[in-house]
């Protein structure tokens, strides 16, 4: 699906954006009738719009026939609000009204110079009347200026709107494409760094029925290839596979700072006591977080890897990996926040 189509869906009707906003305001599931009553909208309209959002995994039903926004849906709403903050509240409706409008905006932004009307007409597959109306819309909004007759150039404001549109549609497309993974991240998914998600370097790897170890093998390979001097991370499970990966690093001279929660620590004491005792003589700092952890995280060299786990089996189900500075900075802040709440665990000799 073209990323513009998501914007077109949202901007085509104010009721759709209102519905997304009303769902974002709810922290608990709500019935469709209650949603309709918030803005005196018909249930038919609510049902129809929710069907589309459910298809994209922006919303989900619970067991009591109530609906709620998913983590992906909340990211979509965050991306929309950020777009409006950067481009103006009217920009989504205008740009969503026709694919020719953002196409022309991007063309002018990429060109970054004065261009003649005939050149624009050749570059954009739109009729003369459509092109003229779009350019009039740009100049009216101060997105473009006319240095001379039939000559156009994007203004600084227009360039800002173009950047905001690219960031918004990129994030919207990425979140929707990877909604199943995003929705497995739990509450941490709500604060994913939107500007980094659509970066070309972001890699998403999910386990498959025929390849259940795909994500953990991806993580193991990345760690082995990097052979980092230092690794800091968070893990919500007691996993012998992860233990072996990290033990190999430690034995080759790496240092590790690892945060686990109380449940993981107690499980490790009961099932892997020898591993904990062995940690006493290895360069690993282990920290215990007071709250239950929902995600995994590893930061080493220039990359950060975020892990989503199967809530039933506890196996690593998916990884998000990136060397984008914005993603790594976000991951480092996330680790620091959890480290500040954790207490150091001293393994017994």
Question: What digits encode the pLDDT tens for the residues 98-122?
Answer: 999 999 999 999 998 999 999 999 9
Phi and psi dihedrals of 332, rounded to 5?
-65, -40
CB 271 within 8 A of CB 261: no
- From residue 325, how far is each of 143, 190, 193, 246, 304 by CA, in Å? 30, 19, 11, 24, 9
Q: How many CA atoms lie within 13 A of 9 on its CB side?
A: 20
225-259 tens-digit pLDDT: 999 999 999 999 988 888 889 988 988 889 999 99
Which is it for strands 316-322 and 303-309: parallel, antiparallel or unpaired? antiparallel
Please give the average per-residue pLDDT across 56-61, as a whole number: 94
- From residue 89, how far is each of 11, 17, 22, 81, 299 by CA, in Å? 11, 12, 17, 9, 37
Tokens of 236: 């919500």
**pTM given for the model:** 0.91
- Burial of residue 108 (CB within 10 Å: 0-12, 13-18, 19+) is buried
- Burial of residue 90 (CB within 10 Å: 0-12, 13-18, 19+) is exposed
CB 183 within 8 A of CB 70: yes
260-317 tens-digit pLDDT: 999 998 888 888 777 666 666 678 899 999 999 999 999 999 999 999 998 778 889 9
């Amino acid at each position: 699906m073209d990323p513009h189509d998501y914007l077109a869906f949202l901007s085509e009707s104010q009721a759709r954006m209102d519905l997304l906003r009303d769902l974002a305001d709810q922290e608990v599931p709500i019935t469709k009738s209650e949603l309709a009553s918030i803005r005196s909208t018909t249930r038919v309209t609510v049902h129809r719009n929710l069907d589309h959002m459910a298809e994209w995994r922006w919303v989900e039903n619970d067991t009591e026939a109530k609906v709620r926004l998913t983590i992906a849906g909340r990211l979509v709403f965050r991306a929309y609000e950020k777009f409006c903050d950067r481009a103006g509240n009217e920009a989504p409706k205008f740009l969503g009204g026709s694919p020719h409008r953002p196409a022309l905006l991007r063309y002018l932004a990429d060109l970054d110079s004065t261009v003649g009307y005939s050149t624009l007409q050749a570059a954009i597959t739109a009729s003369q009347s459509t092109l003229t109306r779009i350019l009039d819309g740009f100049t009216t909004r101060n997105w473009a200026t006319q240095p001379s007759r039939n000559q156009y150039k994007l203004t600084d404001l227009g360039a800002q709107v173009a950047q905001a549109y690219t960031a918004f549609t990129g994030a919207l497309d990425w979140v929707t494409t990877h909604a199943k993974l995003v929705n497995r991240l739990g509450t941490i998914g709500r604060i994913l760094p939107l500007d980094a998600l659509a970066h070309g370097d972001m890699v998403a790897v999910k386990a498959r029925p025929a390849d259940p170890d795909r994500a953990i093998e991806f993580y193991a390979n990345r760690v082995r290839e990097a052979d980092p001097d230092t690794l800091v991370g968070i893990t919500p499970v007691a996993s012998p596979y992860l233990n072996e990966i990290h033990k190999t690093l430690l034995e080759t001279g790496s240092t590790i700072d690892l945060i686990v929660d109380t449940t993981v620590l107690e499980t490790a004491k009961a099932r892997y006591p020898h591993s904990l005792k062995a940690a006493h003589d290895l360069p690993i700092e282990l920290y215990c977080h007071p709250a239950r952890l929902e995600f995994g995280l590893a930061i080493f060299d220039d990359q950060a890897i975020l892990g989503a786990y199967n809530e039933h089996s506890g196996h690593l189900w998916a990884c998000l990996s990136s060397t984008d500075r914005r993603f790594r900075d976000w991951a480092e802040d996330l680790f620091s926040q959890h480290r500040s709440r954790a207490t150091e665990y001293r393994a017994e000799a």
